Amino acid sequence: LAKTTQPISMDSYEGQEVNITCSHNNIATNDYITWYQQFPSQGPRFIIQGYKTKVTNEVASLFIPADRKSSTLSLPRVSLSDTAVYYCLVGANQGGKLIFGQGTELSVKP
Amino acid sequence: GAGVSQSPSNKVTEKGKDVELRCDPISGHTALYWYRQRLGQGLEFLIYFQGNSAPDKSGLPSDRFSAERTGESVSTLTIQRTQQEDSAVYLCASSLAANSYNEQFFGPGTRLTVL
């Protein structure tokens, strides 16, 4: 399974756009890239998933370059409630085994 | 419909005792996963089920850990002769099928404390 690398922590202010980049140099052809969000004392929650190019939903955008060796989660106009840990995952097509790294702890300040 | 539920929400036990943790997945989800999260750490994969079978048990830390699933529904994670290093939050998730492009829905977790 491809290993991922992302910043340990990031700080931002309310109303700013936040971009969290994840490196996954060994991504396999059939791997999807998925991001989860985890608030304290809760289980992780799916945010967005993509395979290539750009994916956008009501919560975030995911940018994936052509070589797919990295991906960037973009959170528009963050609020205090976006303070959480964000995990980038790259999983195989079978089994759904998700390997969670340390994640990025995002702190949004007023 | 209801999400993934887990019980108990908190469990305090003494070293050497056995514990059972329960997970009720979303109805119709064929895949079920168990993870462990130590304080301040990311999630550690333990085991997953496709139906009632466990194709991948590679994450179980030792033979003191076991899990079963019945009726393609409820799953139980059992830890025998608990040790202090077993203290963690145990999270269960379910998905429509066992592949990485199906969203995993997580339960609230069981916080296990071994004294």
Residue B89 predicted with pLDDT over 90: yes
Which residue in B4, B45, B108 is closest to A98 by CB distance? Answer: B45
pLDDT at residue A28, rounded to an integer: 86
What pLDDT band is residue B57 in, cutting at 50, 70 and 90? confident
Q: Does A110 touch chain B (CB under 8 A)?
A: no
C-alpha angle B106-B112-B115 in degrees, rounded to nearest 5 = 170
Taking only the tens place, the pLDDT of each residue in B17-55 is 999 999 999 999 999 999 999 988 888 989 999 999 998
Question: Kind and range of the H or E element at A33?
Answer: strand A32-38
Instruction: Judge: A46–B105 Cβ closer than 8 Å, yes or no.
Output: yes
Widest CA span in chain A: 42
> Residues 6 or more apart from A40 whose CB is under 8 A from it?
none
Sheet with A32-38: strands ordered across: A9-13, A104-109, A84-91, A32-38, A45-50
Share of chain B above pLDDT 70, in %: 98
Tokens of A44: 């992780």
User: Residue range B60-68: average pLDDT?
Assistant: 96
pLDDT at residue A2, rounded to an integer: 65
The DSSP bridge pattern shows strands B10-13 and B110-114 to be parallel
Tokens of B1: 């419909």
pLDDT at residue A102, rounded to an integer: 80
3-class DSSP state for residue B90?
A: strand
User: Residue range B54-81: average pLDDT?
Assistant: 94
Taking only the tens place, the pLDDT of each residue in A7-30 is 999 999 999 999 999 999 988 888
Cα distances (angstroms) measured from residue B99 to each of A38, A39, B83: 21, 24, 32
Tokens of B62: 């030792």
Q: How far is CA B96 from the centre of its chain?
A: 17
Residue from A98, A99, A102, A105 to probe the interface with B (highest B Cβ count within 10 Å): A98
Residue B82 predicted with pLDDT over 60: yes
First to last CA, chain A: 38
Peptide bond into B8 cis (omega under 30): yes
**Least confident piece of the model among A91-95, B6-10, B110-114:** A91-95
> Chain A residues with CB inside 8 Å of B41's CB?
102
| Cα(A97)–Cα(A81) distance, integer angstroms | 29
Q: Within chain A, which residues score under 50 in pLDDT?
A: none
Q: What are phi and psi of A56, to 5 degrees?
A: -135, 135
Radius of gyration of chain B (CA): 13
Q: Does A50 touch chain B (CB under 8 A)?
A: no
pLDDT at residue B68, rounded to an integer: 97
pLDDT at residue A43, rounded to an integer: 92
For residue B23, the cross-strand partners are: B6, B75
pLDDT at residue B102, rounded to an integer: 81
Q: How many CA atoms lie within 13 A of A49 on its CB side?
A: 14
Which residue in A43, A49, A91 is closest to B109 by CB distance? Answer: A43
Instruction: Judge: B105–A87 Cβ closer than 8 Å, yes or no.
Output: no
